[in-house]
Amino acid sequence: MITIDIDRETCIKCGKCVKVCPAYILAQEAPKDEIGLRNVQTCIACGHCVAVCPSDSVIHSEFPAYKVHTLKRDILPTPEQVMELCRARRSNRAFLSSAVPEEYLRQIVDAAHLAPTASNGQEVGFTLITNPDLLKQIADITINTFEATVKKITNPFINPFINLIVPGAKEAVPTLNAVITKHKSGIDAILRGAKAVLLIHTPNSSNFGRQDANLAYQNASLMAESLGVSQFYTGYVCIAIDLDKKRRLAKLLNIEGNIHAGMALSMPAFKFPKYTDRKELNLTVF
């Protein structure tokens, strides 16, 4: 059971904890009044109150002293540096044959784990695959799923109605066939020879699993870019996961719940010295 208390001797009654609490557990009737507590059982353990307190006066059972750290704001990147990192981030599929250093992979996963989650559920799980045999099986399962899907879509008894059941299914056949053909010819169109794959998943009970997983992916992607690790979103693998009712990939990797996102990782054969402009920004302001 979560417990929260306020150290009355050190509290300076600034009210910051009251303003940041998403569950309205902390209260202050008027400026400089003592901080009160209500409905502590509704706390989602986000840690906002502990992190914002300038005098370490919030005593929270989920955040003992060893779990609270002073932020090093002097080493945070500037807005210009963050923007340049975003500009630099590309889905580079030209890889070296060398493995991604283990410490890099750990930093990428740690960054993903720091992403926000709905109601601070923190239900996102990660599976990192570097075993070459398993990487090949991921590609094979993806291709096998595509083959089975194309067979269903082109079935003469199903074909006339397939777009009513799955809108756009017929239009996907040429793309799926092209990927299948490349794979059979020895070209890895699924993982492009990546040395690692990070799969991001959540329990079946998670109401915002896909959203949480993709927030984690974005953190991981930017960390990979900062480390000089090439990465791309495993879109084909994720499509196959959604199509495969037998859950072969999840069973192969002993993953419970739903896989929502995936990232292929390798060291780059080269880096891009330039970036190109995007299409015109589509922004509506009210």
Over residues 130-186, the pLDDT tens digits come to 999 999 999 999 999 999 988 888 887 766 666 655 666 677 888 899 999 999 899
Given a cut of 60, is residue 193 above it in pLDDT? yes
What six digits make up the tokens of 210?
A: 């896909």
Condensed to tens digits (0 to 9), the pLDDT of residues 37-89 reads 999 999 999 999 999 999 999 999 999 999 999 999 999 999 999 999 999 99
Q: Calculate the average pLDDT of the chain.
A: 94
User: Would you identify the CATH topology of the domain 77-286?
Assistant: NADH Oxidase (3.40.109)
Q: In terms of C-beta density within 10 A (0-12 exposed, 13-18 middle, 19 or more buried), how is residue 24 classed?
A: exposed
Regarding the domain delimited by 4-67, which CATH topology (the fold level of the hierarchy) does it fall under? Alpha-Beta Plaits (3.30.70)
Output the pLDDT for position 208.
96
Q: What is the pLDDT of residues 78-115, one digit of tens each?
A: 999 999 999 999 999 999 999 999 999 999 999 999 99
Residue ranges covered by each domain of the chain: 4-67, 77-286
Query: In this model, does residue 211 exceed pLDDT 90?
Result: yes
